[in-house]
Each structure stands twice: as C-alpha cells, then as structure tokens.
Structure 1
Amino acid sequence: MDLPVFADIEAAARRIAAEAVVTPLLRVFDRTDGRLFVKAECLQRTGSFKFRGAFNRLSMIPQDRRAAGVVACSSGNHAQGVAAAAKILGMPAVIVMPSDAPAVKVANTRGYGAEVVLYDRLTDDREAIARAIETERGSTFVHPFDDPGVMAGQGTAGLELCRQLAEIGLVPDAVVVNASGGGLTAGIATALETLAPDCALHTAEPAGFDDHARSIAAGERVGNTARGGSICDALLADRPGIGTFAINSRRVHSGVSVSDEEALDAVAFAARRLKLVAEPGGAVALAAVLTGKIDLAGRTVVVLLTGGNVDDAMLTAALAR
C-alpha cells in the first residue's frame, strides 16, 4: 500500500475540520522532574480518536461508490467512528463486532444507524466475515488500522498536539500511544517525523497483548497467542498491521505493557484528577507513565487518552479500587 506522508495528514486535517473536535491538550502536572500532558481524545466525536480516521477515509470514497456503503470490523471504537461518519455522509454501514464487545459500544454503533453483525472473538475471523459482506454488497471495506486514509486521519491528533505545545513554547520529548493494530501510532509517527523529529515515540499495550513491543524488538511482525481475556477490548488486535509496522518499525523507540489493574487505576486517575471518562484500553498509555514504565526524567511527555466508551460497571469497578 502507499504509506501516508505528512502532506496526507495535512489534507486529512482539512477534510475533517468541519466535523471532528480539536481535543484539548491538558497539563496534568509540571514538576522539576518533568511535564506530563494528556491529549483528551476521549472527548472526540463518538468518544474516541477513531472518528478522525473513519471520517477521513469515508470522505475519500468516490461519490459513485457511496450508495453501496461501507463495511468495517471493530470491537467498538472504529465501529462507532465509521457508523457516525457514514451517517454524516449519507452512506449505509455494516459493522462486524465481537459478541463480547461492551454493550455501550454496540448500542452506540446501532444508534448511529449502522447494521451490526456479531461474531465470536475466539473462534471466528472478523475480517473474513467483513470481506464476504464487501463482496456480496459491493461495499467499501474500511480497515480499522491498515489503511493509508485511516492512518492519515489518526495522524491529525499528532499534528494538533504538536501545534498545541508550540503555542506555549514547548516541543514533545516523548509521546506515548495506546497501540492495537498501530494505525494511530503510525499516523502520529508520520506527523512527528516532520514536526518533532527528535521526539521519542513509545507504544503502550495490555499485558499479554504486547505484539508491538515484541515486534519492534524482533524487527518483524509477531502475533499474540491469546485472542481475548483482557478488559482492554479496544487493544486486542492479533498483530501489527503490514502498513502500520512499515512505519512504526523505523519510528517507535520502545513499547511497554500494563496490567488490567494498572489500566483500571489509570481510569480512576483520569476520572478523579482530570475529570475525564476513559475506558481501560484508552488509558494504558497514561497507566504506563503513572507506573513509572515511561520515565518523565525532565522531559515533556504527552500521552494519548484515546477512548471513553466504557460501560457503567467497568467505570464503577475502576473507581472502587
């Protein structure tokens, strides 16, 4: 595939400007040993950064193909992003979602007008199901991460955070990104290459699903043995994408992983300290910094709080800790 370049991110920013939210960059603390900022993508339209890539990609579909609609597969955040973008653009959408996806994500996806097809995460191949629908209906398949238009759309978050820091006279020394298939990481990596080439980029993943960290260390794409079992449902892709790894393998400095309990503690921190609602998978980068796995060490560090689509019971469990 043609990998996105910085000009593609700038074009994506123009495409999504009328619909996407410029999310705030919040200063968490500013100490002698370092500064921490949070890019609050949980406040993005549909409750996650995924709207950026979805709206950009759907906007690129030619008019004569839009009536056939789109099909996507997702545990919930890409699902909602595609469903909302399709509704805005007047296109039908079918979303293939795991049967164990958080109820709020399934309900929201249907609420945006999409048809939802459920599958078993442990036994079924979601992409095969989606591709069959694509063939049957003549739809456009919108991959959750391994698509240049999706990556470019996600990269607008990196464009924004660099500009927001520049407004207060700072540049990022490190950016920590929650990683699943690597689309957001690849988009931000592409933005940083131009805007902050000396910035270190780190991935954060759930324990047992650290395929990015292991792939970066190995120099090749490696997968996870488990297909489920973490509360971080948004981050359970089985391996990095082909296109995303082509970018991330040369740009990501290192990856770390956090436990489900550490992710829940970060959810509680976001609620109590930042007054933000986050889902566990959206808070692993924050957890990585709070647990000292990413050292501030006199640096300006930005973490992406990528999603806030959390069931009431999960949020309650986090706060109860």
Structure 2
Amino acid sequence: MAEKEKNVDLSTAARLSVAPMMDWTDRHCRYLHRLLSPRALLYTEMVTSPALVRGGALHLLAYNPEEHPVALQLGGSDPEELAAAARLGAEAGYDEINLNCGCPSDRVQSGTFGAVLMKHPELVADCVAAMRAAVTVEVTVKCRIGVDDQDPEEVLPDFLDKISAAGCRRVTVHARKAWLQGLSPKENRDIPPLDYPLVLRMRQAFPDLHLSINGGITSLDQAEALLAQGLDGVMVGRAAYHEPGNMLCGADARIWGQPGGLDAEAAALAMLPYIERHVSAGGKLGQVTRHMLGLFQGRAGARAWRRHLSENAHRPGAGPEVVREALALLAPEAA
C-alpha cells in the first residue's frame, strides 16, 4: 500500500470521518479503514495529555504513514499541558489535533476532562488558544450538546461561541447529552435522545464553523441525508467499526463523488502483508484481526468468517494463513 499524501484538505476529508473510539480505533483498525476509504478522516483513540507530557508515553503516538489524513485526539484540561501534548502530536506528523469534550467515563471526569468540560467553556477556549499557539496544524473540538441538567439550547451555542472566538474552526458535535451521573459510558451512547435539529440550527447560527454531526449514524444513506441538510460533515462511530465493509466500502464514490477504496475481500487480502509484518515483528495476529470481524457483515459466510478468526487468531504462531482460511469460508458474491 503506497504512502498517502499528507497535504490534504481536512475540511473536505471531514465530510466523512470515523470517530475516535477507545480500545477500537488503534493503528491496526485505522490501517484497515484506510484501505476501504482513501479519503475519510480517521481519528486515534483518545490519548491523555498527562500520559504524553508527564508519563513520556510517546509510543501512544505511533501510527502508519498510510493513515493520512489522521487526527490525534487528546484528553486533558490544562492549557499548558495540552499545548505541550499538541506539540508532540504535531511533531509526530498528525494532520489535526482534536480536544475531547465528549467522553463521559468516570476516569475522564476524575481528571476534569471529556464531557465535563461542557460545564467549563471558558477553560476549553483557553485550551484551544494554547494548543493553537503551540502548533501550526489545525486544532479542533469534539463535544456533546450538554451534560446532566444543562439546557442544550443555551449551553451549546455559548460553548461554540467561546471556542470559535479562541480560533477553533471545525467542531464535531455528538448530538446527545452526556449524563455524568447515573449512566455508564455505554448507556451514554444510546439512552440520551438524539437532537439532530439542534445541531442543524447551530450550523445556521455559526456559518463560519465547519460543523460535523456524530451519534446514531448507521448507514451511508443516513450520512448523505445529513450532508444534504447542510451539515459540513458526518462522523460515524460504531457502525464503521462493527460493519466497516458496509459503512466504508463505496464511501468515496458516494460522499466525494470520486472512485477509491477496496471492496471487503480485496481489503482482507491487502491486509495480509501488513499482518505478516506485524507478526514477524513479534505482534499477535488477534491484535489486527479483531478489527476485521465485521468486514463481511450481512454476507453469506460472515458468521463462519468471524468464528474462524475468533477461534484461531490466538493460536501460537498464527499468521496470515488464518485469514486466508477464513476467506475460503465466505460464499462467493452474486454477480
């Protein structure tokens, strides 16, 4: 797979992006997604600024050059520390630095970052300003429409006003509240109701912002419909992970009107050299194939594909042959 050009227009790439998802969107996952869509904007898992700046965990910044355009998502709330972390990300070659203002987990609450930052828009503005002063790459924000008993109609426009005044020009809004008390992170992805109309109104209220929507988007049809309503971008989360073939194959033609990307079977074959390199370097097959389980979702033989990978990827010495064996269990696609 040839190395991608870095000098891409991120505003164009952000018409379709794959959300940062903890424990999921690691470098192996992103490599697969890039095979399926050459143009989509990809995000890392959230990396905390303390881990980078205080802990020196620079291995968390590792990625494959083929992943561009790729954004680093940071978690934190100290402007100076976030600026230092952003500098490390920019030096590592990331195309964008994104600040997480949406994650509702207990761990991020205790660190006063993630969704709890919706309560502190002035602090977020200070963080954005410090990060922008530290790097030349774009600094963006991913947020919720509010938390707990906040009124999103009041909170979200004030939040967007303050961060845009600090120089943020691109924002992704998860169109749900986050309940910091009473709901688990998993429940926060499903239970709070979606409010797409509010995000659409924000698009009209802030014409200078590039606004992407996130939350509950499960198909390219839905993504296209939201773009047609005037949104600048659509960010897809779990659907891109659990059904990457259905969500990303053909996305370039539909979202950008340009051919590109492999079909699911070709992508699986293209992963084989990558897997060989990973295993030869001491990695485990399952670290890669766990991201490939949903590649053929909905196709005859998909269950056998998943089962074979799940049962055999952790065998001692398992390598690319396991993927070839799993591919042989798929039914041929109808012409």
More strand by share: 1
What range is the shorter-chain TM-score in? under 0.3
Higher Rg of the two aligned structures: 2
Please give the TM-score of this superposition, normalised by the length of structure 2.
0.27
Whose RCO is larger (CA < 8 A, sep 6+)? 1
Please give the TM-score of this superposition, normalised by the length of structure 1.
0.28
